[in-house]
Structure 1
């Protein structure tokens, strides 16, 4: 028998128990660091991953549950956009639209002193089409003309309105009416925005 083993066996019982206890503790510590700690870290990773996956699933489920609502909202917005674009004439419709504005002025009894289309003002997917107007007529005739313009199928705004130069014509007071009638046309293929040049001046 090995002398060291024999020496241990000859020790008092409490000392032998103490040695066995120390050995068991060492084995337990070794097991913790070599096996259990690695498993614990792996378990924590799996728990975190599980929580992350659950959050993603809940988020996707919420989107899926509201998908029909989002679809209906999109369809409403699309319909509103098409309706708004429908109020913007194409380029080929502009001449007839301007003719209609002039015809309305005459229909309401106004005398057209100046009817001058100005250059278009690009605004991206649409462009402003201003017309400079100088009319003569009564206040009632002017108000009736502006109301008729506002009720046109296409959008036409009256801006820069100036009234003055009242004169008596054929026994009636006639005003000089200066204004701008601005309509808008849909730009089918808007030009791309110019790219900013990199770097400064040399």
Structure 2
């Protein structure tokens, strides 16, 4: 018993006949085209072949190559933008390094400035420095007076009256030590005389004991005028 819709030998035969008829029709069409092509004169045939080749090339260009070229152009444009951005970043990095170098240089200058012209009076460190230099030079030191600070154009001045006692060489060493200090010190009105308390005797190192009286002025900057100094700390 055959089920509904099942293939039968007669159905196969009809399908085979239909396919054969279709193939024959296509073959007849191709034969007709080839016959017509053969009847075309040689020069026209060559021109037709060239026209077909051009058509194939144009079709390839618009269908395949143009799409690929657009992708290539987009990729090149993206790459150029990346190169440009990379150059900008490198330039910014160079600027950062240059700025850092300038800041470091400014901080070095600032450190020298603060050592020579400290922020605030800094009286105690100054007295320690004077005492240390007196010990190094082997002189006796007496700070007689520290007057009130007076204001200058961009700085404040601290005047001091000082006495030192020792031989000429010792006093010279003391003044030399002060001149080598980072902080600015201005020595004026030096009065050098033989010490009355040691008149008639000499120091163990030789030479008479002298007494030097002088005025010392040192300077400092107002903290309010040094904004930004802490940036280097």
Normalised to the residue count of structure 1, the TM-score between the two structures is 0.49
Q: Which has the higher helix share?
A: 2
Q: Which has the larger radius of gyration?
A: 2
Q: Which has the higher strand share?
A: 1
